[in-house]
Every structure is written in structure tokens, then in C-alpha cells.
Amino acid sequence: MQVQIASDLHLDALQTKFPDSPALVPAPNADLLILAGDIHLGAAGVDRFADWPVPVVYVSGNHEAYGRGYSETVSEIAQRAQGTNIHYLERKAVELHGMRFLGCCLWTDYALYGDREKSMEYARETMSDHQSIVREDGSPFGPEEALAEHRQAIQWLVKELATPFRGKTVVITHHGVSPDSIHERFRDHPVNAGFLSDLRNLLPFADLWIHGHVHDSFDYRSGGARVIANPRGYPLNLASAQRDADLQWENRAFNPHCVVEL
């Protein structure tokens, strides 16, 4: 089984100037596309991939909820995906080709550096998530809400991973799962605690773990699992680009035809 992987396409950044820019090009011989979050605002990512030539497994990220409620966004995407070739996973599993795919946004536990309270306050002050996403009552979606989402995700993941399965297990999250997914230029930066958690204790229970969010590419092994991130990131020259073909993307290592064999 050939699986195409991408995340952080940030089509939301293009919707004003290049709304019809191709979202992605199907990889030759791919049997499945996995999207690991930050694809488009709200459920617009479903619309862009609803007619993809192969099934799509989609986990949303933080940016899908920008300018709206987080719970509302999750419900909207799930509803829009019904009846399409998209399997939207938010604390849900799907079995395809004899393999199980477990998916959730994940968020983080803010415990990467050992001082959760300090990391949460740093995230509140510096990360746009907590100004751009709201709760059901209209108040900001703060680090406390993100932590609550993370804890629910971990509880669900632990239960699912402990359930015996004869085939391979693929986990898809938007947020990262290991300090090994920190690029050297961000080593020890306080923002990392808001981007990933140290979940290396869960990696032995997965064959492949796919994530996004960090805007750098990774492909390594840890705890017996292969960990892959293939994010495109933000367009750096959006203001000056005359055509979408002229866009320069944040992650120069992004591979639009990233394919792994399972």
C-alpha cells in the first residue's frame, strides 16, 4: 500500500490572492492520501479534497479553527466529510486495506520543559491560537482548553493502542510527539512546549506516526515506529508573487509527492 503524506498546506493563506491554486498533486501510484492538519479554514479542506482520486484520511490542526469555535469546527468538518471519500478522524479510527488508522489533533501537554504552568503562560502570550480560536461561549480558547483536548486525546489513544490488532497501526496527529521533531534552530526554544509533547512511550505501539505543525520535515525511527512529518508551511512571498507558481514556501524540504509504503 502506497501512502501519500502532507500537512500544513495552509490554503487559508491563499484564499484571497490565489483561491484556485492547486491544493496538491496526486502522487503516482498512491493508494491513500493522509493530511495531518492545517489544510484550510473550517471545513474548506474537505471541499478541496472531496474529489481526490484515492481515499483521504484527514486530521485537522489548529488553523482550521481560526476565527471560529474549536468544537464547532470539528463538528462542521465531520459533517461535511460525510458521504465523501474523506475519512475525518478526531479521536476516531478507521480500518483500510487491513491497517488501522488512528487520528486526532492532539494538542500538547505543555510539559516538555518540566514547568507546565510557565509553558502555558508563554503559549497564551505568544501563540496566535489563543487569540484566534474561541470556545462555545465566545471566550478565548486558551492553553487550558488545549490541555483538556490533549488529555482526552491521550486517554483515547492509549485505549486504542492497547487494543490488539493483527495488522499495522498508523497514528496521525497534527501536533508533534517527540523532541526529535524539533529542528536544531529551535532547540530549547520555549515555544516548543506548545508545539509538541514527549510521547515516546507510545511510539512502540505504532508502526508509523505521522504529524505536522512544526513546519520542518522529519523522517526518523523511535521506539520501533517510523515518525514522518512533511509540512509545506506558509508562503513567504505572497505579497510579491504574481502567480501561484512563483510562491516560495517556508519548508523548502517539503515533498509534494512524499510517499511511503506500508
Summarize pLDDT for 8-30 with one digit per residue, the tens.
999 999 999 999 999 999 999 99
Q: How far apart are CA 119 and CA 111, in angstroms?
A: 7
| pLDDT classification of 250: cutoffs 50, 70, 90 | very high
Query: How many Cβ atoms sit within 10 Å of the Cβ of residue 189?
Result: 13
Report the pLDDT averaged over residues 87-98. Answer: 97
HSE-up of residue 163 (Cα within 13 Å, Cβ side): 11
Interhelix angle 116-126/143-162, rounded to 10 degrees, is 120
The amino acid sitting at 115 is D
Report the pLDDT averaged over residues 117-144. Answer: 96
Q: Which DSSP string do the residues of the chain spell out, in sequence order? A: -EEEEEB---GGGGTTT-TTS----PPTT-SEEEEES--SSTTHHHHHHTT-SS-EEEE--SGGGTTEEHHHHHHHHHHHHTTSSEEE-SSEEEEETTEEEEEE-----S-TTS-HHHHHHHHHHH-THHHHEE-TTSSB--HHHHHHHHHHHHHHHHHHHHS--SS-EEEEESSB--GGGS-GGGTT-GGGGGTB---TTTGGG-SEEE--SSSS-EEEEETTEEEEE-B---BSSTTT-SSGGG--BS-TT--TT-EEE-
Evaluate if residue 136 carries a pLDDT over 90: no
Evaluate if residue 167 carries a pLDDT over 90: yes
Burial of 135 (0-12, 13-18, 19+ CB in 10 A): middle
